[in-house]
Amino acid sequence: MTGSLEKIRCSVGITAYNEEENIGALLQALLDQHLHLVEIAEIIVVASACTDRTVPIVKEFMAQDPRIQLIEQERREGKTSAINLFLKAATSDILVLESGDTLPHEYAVEHLVRMFQDPTVGMVGAQKVAVNTPDHIVGLLSHIRLRMEHQLCLEIPRLGEMIAFRKVFDQ
């Protein structure tokens, strides 16, 4: 036994529409992921007809890291269309899909993708956690809502903001 495991390669896709307030922090959070068993092969941003600074911000990150790619849609064609563009462009067998208005925990990609060491796992999802403090009423309500949503999802699974799945299809 050599003691070294082959890392699980994944492609990360981000769907974005006018996310200038968050896209830079999201890309930085993905670049700063703590990875041990996992390798992020590429980060593909699908920007759907953005009219703000989303695209220029992504291009700044592209200049820093060759794994970052940008697909620009001239018209807004919906999230499904953006996801399909990501699926077509992705080169890895494990795909991570994240919404452009989220921020992943520093171990989020590792925790999701390492589950695919088990060949029977086809899809996994992350739990949403509020990043604001519950010290004020808006923050408190946000925390309560997300805890309630999590409890419901334990009974009736619903995945969405950050998921990972095997690419077991051609398109």
CATH at 35? 3.90.550.10
pLDDT of 126 = 74
pLDDT of the residue at 162: 84
Q: Name the one residue in this structure whose structure tokens are 């390669």.
A: 9
Task: Return all residues near 54 (Cβ < 8 A) that are at least 6 apart.
Answer: 16, 17, 18, 19, 20, 23, 47, 100
- Residue 146 located in a structural domain: no
pLDDT (tens digit per residue) in 76-120: 999 999 999 999 999 999 999 998 988 898 999 999 999 999 999
Answer whether residue 138 is part of any domain: no
Domain assignment of residue 29, yes or no: yes
Q: Is residue 90 part of a domain?
A: yes
Question: Is residue 143 in a domain?
Answer: no
Q: How many domains does the chain have?
A: 1
- DSSP tally for the chain: helices H, then strands E: 5, 6
**pTM of structure:** 0.84
**Max mean pLDDT range (50-54, 119-123, 148-152):** 50-54
Q: Give residue 53's domain range.
A: 8-127+159-166
Q: Is residue 133 part of a domain?
A: no
